[in-house]
Amino acid sequence: MSPRECKEHLHELGALVVVPTYDNAGTIGTLMAMLIKYSSDIMVVDDGCTDSTSEILYTFGFRDVSCDGKTKDGLEGRTLLRHSRNMGKGRSLKDALPLAAAAGWKHVLTIDADGQHFPSDIPVFVEALLGDPSSMLVGSRNLASTNMPQCNTFANRFSNFWFRLETGVRLEDTQCGFRVYPLGKADYSKWYYTSLYEFELEALVFAAWSGTRISGVPVNVYYPPAGERVSHFRPLRDFSRISLLNTVLVFICLLYIWPRNLLRKLSWSKIRKFFDDNLFHVKDSNLKLTLSFWLGIFIGLLPFGGYHFVSAVFLAHVLRLNTLVAGAFTLISIAPMMPLIIFCSCWTGSLILGHPMLLTGLDISFSDVGNMLIDYVFGGIVFAVAASSILAGICAVTLAILRRKK
């Protein structure tokens, strides 16, 4: 694809190129000289630059634009959005993305201003976008390239691992700033987005959670020698913030995303069909079904993880109960429920055995740890008996009502 064709396709797709920059006077001129060959509509976000970045951009015909611009005409051509002080790359994108969406643009293609990305790779994004206009595209760099900083490589692989855990999406490079953001469905100005370097990772995760398709496209990368490199990545600070962000995201996964996805896969029609086929409309007696239900809940609540399903099915087979019902209800011990089950087990054990319930990790001795383990095991058994019996009673009443003879 020629540069001229690339320009035309970007305009047809409604794609605005956004370049966040902070003190990149040494590379911004070269980047713009190449970038204007591939795109007619470019917005640079000057994040409080203290060097001659703005003066260089003015020589390329850039004009100032305010954050309250609402028309597409105001963002056509070469525009410059300026921050009075340095606020972070994430804040730059948080300002640019909603502004572009409000002006009617459908996509934003971002490229870093430090010279590591090549505008000649933009046609790769355009071709991928033509094939799937609703997708989010992320550049995939060669992490083994010459002069690639080792701290960046480690942080990227670390981030890739957590991204896959949180979303189930395999992406080779989650930290590349060369990417395409689809506009419309996503609100990139929401409060839960961070404002610094880790914004790009969080935006990816929330896009995946919302159902946006995310794909990687191969791009070239250039890292100048260490003495010539201008980087605002601070390994300790930024790596710590990324780690904290991933901790929060995993917590959200446990409490909301994974249960939501499970329910979506099951659907109410499938759940209703399961109960109709295996509980309400089977030849087994109410007593047999209730005992099968009780066995599944009881095994699922026991403090012996890893073999709940197998144990319940085996015992149901030996006792000639309904193996499917018994096995299915061991799923009460799925990951989102485990914190509650563990707490109830420990609380029950401490209440019966008279041990104090320790809720903090301060000044805990080996004897305290032993007591906590005893509370968990003993309390877990008692809690499993009590909870499964109560729930089995409810099940028996429900079956008696729903399966009564007409």
Query: Does any domain span residue 67?
Result: yes
Cα(386)–Cα(351) distance, rounded to whole angstroms? 14
Query: Are residues 311 and 190 located together in one domain of the fold?
Result: no
pLDDT value of position 406:
44
Query: Does any domain span residue 269?
Result: no
Query: Are residues 248 and 286 located together in one domain of the fold?
Result: no
pLDDT value of position 70:
46
Considering the entire predicted model, what is its pTM?
A: 0.64
Give the number of other CB atoms < 10 A from CB of residue 335.
12
The torsion region of residue 33 among left (phi > 0), alpha (psi -120 to 50) and beta comes to alpha
Name the most confidently modeled range: 133-137, 303-307, 368-372: 133-137
Query: Are residues 88 and 13 located together in one domain of the fold?
Result: yes
Query: Are residues 304 and 361 located together in one domain of the fold?
Result: yes
Q: Would you give the DSSP letter of residue 217?
A: E
Instruction: Choose among 137, 83, 134, 128: nearest CA to 109.
Output: 137
Per the structure, the count of domains in the chain is 2
- Does residue 334 register a pLDDT over 80? no
Query: Are residues 90 and 236 located together in one domain of the fold?
Result: yes
Name the most confidently modeled range: 20-24, 190-194, 320-324, 328-332: 20-24
Query: Are residues 234 and 299 located together in one domain of the fold?
Result: no
Query: Are residues 212 and 104 located together in one domain of the fold?
Result: yes
Query: Are residues 97 and 187 located together in one domain of the fold?
Result: yes
pLDDT 10s digits, 192-236: 566 666 788 888 998 998 888 999 999 988 876 655 555 555 556
pLDDT 10s digits, 76-111: 899 999 998 888 888 889 889 989 988 889 999 999
* CA dihedral (150, 17, 213, 203) positive or negative: positive
pLDDT value of position 71:
46
Query: Does any domain span residue 167?
Result: yes
Query: Does any domain span residue 212?
Result: yes
**CATH code at 188?**
3.90.550.10
Query: Does any domain span residue 138?
Result: yes
- Does residue 16 register a pLDDT over 90? yes
Query: Does any domain span residue 268?
Result: no
Query: Does any domain span residue 257?
Result: no
Query: Are residues 61 and 140 located together in one domain of the fold?
Result: yes
Query: Are residues 83 and 202 located together in one domain of the fold?
Result: yes
Query: Are residues 210 and 300 located together in one domain of the fold?
Result: no
The torsion region of residue 357 among left (phi > 0), alpha (psi -120 to 50) and beta comes to beta
Residue 205: give the domain boundaries: 3-252
Query: Does any domain span residue 57?
Result: yes
Query: Are residues 341 and 225 located together in one domain of the fold?
Result: no
